[in-house]
Amino acid sequence: MRKEKTLFVIGIWVAILPFLGFPNSFRRVLFLITGLALMYLAYLYYIEVRVRLLKNTNHSRTFVDNMGSVENKGE
């Protein structure tokens, strides 16, 4: 849940950043840092989903075996 909250806060930051009155050069640096933070969060989500999918593939093999036995009953 921590990553979701961080993503929410970064979204608020991006929404209010243009209105805070920073000079253009400093604002560009802040947007660059924010973009890098978003890329890092996206990478963390990618790793999390990849690990979750690898765990789920072991469970789906059992289901495929069961489907083979159901097809043979019809013959």
Summarised one tens digit per residue, pLDDT across range 18-43 is: 898 989 999 999 999 999 989 998 89
**What pLDDT, on a 0 to 100 scale, did the predictor assign at position 29?**
92
Which pLDDT belongs to residue 5? 86
Task: Give the largest CA-CA distance in the chain.
Answer: 76
| pLDDT value of position 33 | 93
Residues whose CB falls within 8 Å of the CB of residue 17, separated by 6 or more in sequence, listed in order: 27, 30, 31, 34
- Does residue 70 or residue 19 have the better pLDDT? 19
Cα–Cα distance, 10 to 20 (Å, whole number)? 15
